[in-house]
Amino acid sequence: MKTKSRNRLALLTTAIAIPALIVGIALPMQASASTGSSLSAAVSSHAEITLPLATSGGKIIDADGDTVVLQGVNWFGMETATHAPHGLWSRDYKDMLQQISSLGFNVVRIPFSLQALRSTSTSSIDFGGGRNAALQGKTPLQVLDEIIAEAGRRGLMVILDNHSQADDGFSYDLWYGQDGYTEADWIDTWQLLANRYGKVNNVVGYDLKNEPHGRATWGTGGPSDWRLAAERAGRAVLAKDADALILVEGIEAPVASGSLDRNWWGGNLEGVRTNPVRLGVPGQVVYSPHEYGPGVFAQPWFSSPDMASILADRWHKGFGYINATGIAPVLVGEFGAKSVTTDTVEGRWITQFTDYLAASGTSWTFWSWNPNSGDTGGVLKDDWRTVHTDKVALLTALMSGRTSIPTASPTSTPTPKASPSATSSNGLTGRILVDSQWPTGACLRLSVTNQSATAKAVAELSFDLPGGAVTSIWNGSASRTGDQVKITTPNWAKAEAGSTYSDTGVCISGSRVPAALTVNGLPSASPTTSATATPTPTLTPTPTPSATATPTVSPSPSATPAIPPSTSALSATLITDSTWETGSCLTLAVTNASSASVANWSANFTLASGTRISQSWSGELAVTEGRAQVTAPSWGGSIPAGGTVRHFGFCLTGAGLPHDATARALV
């Protein structure tokens, strides 16, 4: 049953009630705080959204059933000793919210501490010259009332985030135990907020706990089981605000039967596969991981030559499968970077990640609006007024729906092809790899292999594209002369000796895929093509084009690719991660029971009649006459003695499950 009035954004809300005592928490009182405030004029640039929101499968929807992608910023400070969002020492809160709205964002995530909401005072707010007049003399909770009301007038939705129990306590791992706060205190606070804002239309979601980590577990059943705590708090919130979206973050630690051994704080949601959050009613839970780059911590994958592949694999396994398979929507509550240009690792990470968000239709809130985040900086510069134009350009492109993988019809599975290779006079061989293709376009990776003994710069790539156009590009810029398209790559692009560069790619319109790739504008030898140059086994690309493994070329179009002889016995098990009426997703586990490590492996399994693989990740796949062959990803071939790896995963369409899985070591 809907409890909030059904309004569009423009929003109208009832008065914000301020009881003196709710669920056991005593609050400082004043005569009124935003009583009678109306949330009226929406920003014309915002899409019309009918509130309240709910969920349907992997999407957030509005009251009309239309898909909504939440796209916003984090404005922090209320979780610190100031007890108010930061920057109000420099400018008026109305001006701040107007700027957020004018840039096209539709939601603001506001962190708070339990301590702040129990306080009677704020600090570091400038009241000179009439600035922030509505906040003067108000308690922190009443300041929050005013900010929420003004956000609504600016057409902005609000997500409240419990960032910590004590002020400035973001590094504490659990939702109880900090400075004497209990789980009951935490749940009571959420009930207070849900009761207070339950009829305020633009308060759309409650992020229960920021970044559970350390001792937090998932599915263990103990006091530190975050999944069970989220259920208790979520149900308590819904008892006061039945229309709320309940945002549940992940944990840091690995989970039972999971494959990720290290994660960001709040970033691991693998546990949802087997232990989803149960709120007693459908349509209200949204999972909310956090994801960061090397500016926050130098995770090992940022120094790997296979960074793009590893990232795509991690994103899908850690949280992407949740909305991809229709379990629930995902909203990435925090991601951000100081550098967003692709001449840095951090910039390449965030470019790939924003492409991933756009392609998957995932909601997000960028960390942060504030410039005073030590890890990432913010949208604003240190003057609290001027924006970083490169960050705004990145986020504007994301909001406009830039994507590296157009959504193809779910009934079509593209068959990857490789263009004939051409070796230039400096030892570089160019190939065009088809990641995905549909009747009116394709997405391509531009692959350059260096056959020489020294590293080579990859400065320029070109191909002919008669009758077509480049619709998107990553890690490069495009120009055109007649039918020829020239791609200028970033200054960091190079192919190491004996290795391949494939970080640049394009999506094109038109029914024809370019035939050949020229590298650095140098003369190329005549392409050599044989009858076996075009692979026929189906290979489904990973969710982002930069992360898709190079297709394995079949030596014979009618036979399963040959497998080198085995040197030790391996076993393979297919783990069913999720099933639904018309499909399923599975993980392939390969176990080495011998006393010696294995350097590389391959596995096979048989598909059930009437099923096909619709997507796969972290491995090379070929399917011939219903028998699938998997080759380990370049970064995941090693299996220690007695160890098990769970790299390769896939989703199926059709009702049956695969069977007869086997594995062998390769020499």
| 334 labelled catalytic | yes
* Euclidean distance between CA atoms 505 and 526, whole angstroms: 23
Q: Are 638 and 598 in contact (CB under 8 A)?
A: yes
Strands (E), 514-592: 518-519, 569-580, 583-592
In angstroms, the first-to-last Cα distance of the chain is 62
* Euclidean distance between CA atoms 654 and 204, whole angstroms: 36
Q: Are 550 and 500 in contact (CB under 8 A)?
A: yes
Q: Are 585 and 652 in contact (CB under 8 A)?
A: yes
Three-state DSSP at 442 gives strand
What is each CA distance from 205 to 110, 194, 419, 596, 640, in whole angstroms?
Answer: 11, 10, 48, 51, 45
Cβ atoms < 10 Å from Cβ of 119: 18
Apex CA 397: angle with CA 391 and CA 401, to 5°? Answer: 145
Burial-class residue 216 by CB neighbours within 10 Å (0-12, 13-18, 19+). Answer: buried
Encoded amino acid at 349, one letter = W
Contacts of 180-188 with CB under 8 Å at 24 or more apart are 181/114, 183/229, 183/232, 184/24, 185/25, 185/114, 186/114, 186/162, 186/233, 187/232, 187/233, 187/236, 188/22, 188/23, 188/24, 188/25
* Euclidean distance between CA atoms 190 and 193, whole angstroms: 5
Please give the order of strands across the beta sheet that includes 285-287: 285-287, 245-248, 203-207, 157-164, 107-113, 71-74, 363-366, 331-332
Q: Are 155 and 196 in contact (CB under 8 A)?
A: no
- Out of 150, 291, 334, 620, pick the active-site residue: 334
CA contacts within 13 A on the Cβ side of 167? 15
- Out of 79, 146, 150, 211, pick the active-site residue: 211
Nearest to 266 by CA among 298, 297, 290, 246: 290
Three-state DSSP at 555 gives coil
| 150 labelled catalytic | no
Q: How do strand 494-495 and strand 456-457 relate by DSSP bridges?
A: antiparallel
Conformational region of residue 63, where left means phi above 0, alpha means psi within -120 to 50, and beta covers everything else: alpha
Q: How do strand 601-606 and strand 484-488 relate by DSSP bridges?
A: unpaired
CA contacts within 13 A on the Cβ side of 181? 23
Nearest to 220 by CA among 275, 286, 287: 275
Q: Which token pair is 562? A: 């040959």
Q: Are 495 and 456 in contact (CB under 8 A)?
A: yes
Q: Which token pair is 449? A: 């292999």
Three-state DSSP at 211 gives coil
Query: What positions carry a catalytic annotation?
Result: 211, 334
